[in-house]
Amino acid sequence: MKCGKEERIVQPARREIKTAALSFPEREDQTLDPRDWEALRTQAHRMLDDILDYTKNIRERPIWQPIPDKVRMRFRSTLPVGPSSLTEVHQEFMNYILPFAVGNAHPGFMGWVHGGGTPVGMLAEMLAAGLNANLGGRDQIPIEVERQITSWMQKLFGFPENATGLFVTGTSMANFIAIVIARDAALGCDVRRQGVAAESKRLTAYGSAALHGCAGKAMDLCGLGSEALRLVPTDNRGRLELTALARAIKTDRDAGFAPFLIMATAGTVDTGAIDDLTSLATLAHGEKLWFHVDGAYGALAMLAPDLAPRLRGIERADSLAFDFHKWGQVPYDAGFILVRDGTLHRNAFAASSTYLRRETRGLAAGAPWPCDYGPDLSRGFRALKTWFTLKVYGAEAMGAAISRTSTLARYLEHRILNTPELELLAPVELNIVCFRYRADDSDRVNASIVVELQESGIVAPSTTVVDGRLAIRAAIVNHRTGQSEIDKLVGCTLALGRRITKSFTAAGHAAPKIAATDSSPRAKWESELREVESQMASDPFSLDLRFQRASLLSELGRLVDARTEYMKVLEREPYHLAALNKLGSVLIATGHRTAAGIAYKEAVVRHPDDSTSRVNYGNYLLEESERQEA
Beta bridge partners of 473: 434, 462
Number of neighbouring beta carbons within 10 Å of residue 357 = 9
Average pLDDT, integer, range 57-72: 94
**Residues 501, 526 within the same domain:** no
Length of the chain: 630
What CA–CA distance (Å, rounded) separates 116 from 393?
A: 15
Whether 624 shows a pLDDT value over 80: the answer reads no
DSSP-based three-state secondary structure for 62: coil
**Residues 280, 205 within the same domain:** yes
CA-nearest of 351, 330, 387, 380 to 147 is: 387
Q: Which amino acid is at 283?
A: L
Specify the higher pLDDT residue, 567 or 370.
370
**Residues 297, 157 within the same domain:** yes
Query: Which pLDDT value is given to residue 22?
Result: 52
CATH of the domain at 154: 3.40.640.10
Instruction: Compute the CA torsion angle 322, 323, 328, 332 (nearest 10 deg).
Output: 180
Query: Residue 467 domain-assigned?
Result: yes
**Residues 157, 282 within the same domain:** yes
Average pLDDT, integer, range 10-28: 50
> Which secondary-structure segment (H or E) carries 574?
none
**Residues 469, 525 within the same domain:** no
Query: Which pLDDT value is given to residue 626?
Result: 64
Beta bridge partners of 265: 294
What CA–CA distance (Å, rounded) separates 118 from 596?
A: 39
pLDDT digits (tens, 9 = 90+) for 353-402: 888 899 999 999 999 999 999 999 999 999 999 999 999 999 999 999 99
> Which secondary-structure segment (H or E) carries 75?
none
Question: Domain count of the chain?
Answer: 4
Whether 142 shows a pLDDT value over 90: the answer reads yes
DSSP-based three-state secondary structure for 21: helix
Whether 538 shows a pLDDT value over 80: the answer reads no
Query: Residue 4 domain-assigned?
Result: no
57 Cβ neighbours under 8 A, 6+ residues apart: none
Query: Residue 262 domain-assigned?
Result: yes
CA-nearest of 463, 187, 167, 481 to 336 is: 167
> Which secondary-structure segment (H or E) carries 164?
strand 164-168
What CA–CA distance (Å, rounded) separates 144 from 371?
A: 14
What CA–CA distance (Å, rounded) separates 562 from 583?
A: 8
**Residues 246, 297 within the same domain:** yes
In the Cβ-directed half-sphere of 61, how many Cα atoms lie within 13 Å?
20
**Binning pLDDT at 50, 70 and 90, where does residue 520 land?**
low
Query: Residue 10 domain-assigned?
Result: no
> Which secondary-structure segment (H or E) carries 167?
strand 164-168
**Residues 422, 502 within the same domain:** yes
CA-nearest of 616, 629, 607 to 581 is: 616
Beta bridge partners of 232: 208
**Residues 536, 590 within the same domain:** yes
**Residues 486, 531 within the same domain:** no
CATH of the domain at 579: 1.25.40.10
Give all strands of the β-sheet with 462-466 in edge-to-edge order.
422-424, 432-437, 469-475, 462-466
CA-nearest of 351, 47, 375 to 193 is: 351
DSSP symbols for 514-538 = ----TTSHHHHHHHHHHHHHHHHHH
**Residues 356, 225 within the same domain:** yes
Percentage of the residues of the chain whose pLDDT score is greater than 70 = 92
Query: Which pLDDT value is given to residue 518?
Result: 46
**Residues 213, 362 within the same domain:** yes
Q: Which amino acid is at 441?
A: D
DSSP-based three-state secondary structure for 507: coil
pTM for this prediction: 0.78
User: Strand 164-168 relative to strand 335-339: parallel, antiparallel, unpaired?
Assistant: antiparallel
Query: Residue 18 domain-assigned?
Result: no
Average of per-residue pLDDT values in the chain: 90
Query: Residue 28 domain-assigned?
Result: no
Given 323, 348, 380, the domain boundary residue is: 380
pLDDT digits (tens, 9 = 90+) for 297-313: 999 999 999 999 999 99
Given 477, 506, 535, the domain boundary residue is: 506
User: Strand 290-294 relative to strand 258-265: parallel, antiparallel, unpaired?
Assistant: parallel
Structural domain including 337 reads 134-380
What CA–CA distance (Å, rounded) separates 225 from 530?
A: 30
Query: Residue 455 domain-assigned?
Result: yes
Range from 152-156, 184-188, 334-338, 585-589 carrying the lowest mean pLDDT: 585-589
Q: Rounded to whole angstroms, what are the CA distances from 526 to 425, 429, 530, 533, 549?
A: 22, 32, 6, 10, 10
Query: Residue 389 domain-assigned?
Result: no
CATH of the domain at 476: 3.90.1150.10
Instruction: Compute the CA torsion angle 412, 272, 105, 117 (nearest 10 deg).
Output: 130
Number of neighbouring beta carbons within 10 Å of residue 150 = 21
Average pLDDT, integer, range 152-168: 98
**Residues 407, 304 within the same domain:** no
**3-state helix vs strand vs coil in the chain, percent to 5:** 55, 10, 35
CA-nearest of 76, 58, 79, 80 to 67 is: 76
Average pLDDT, integer, range 153-175: 97
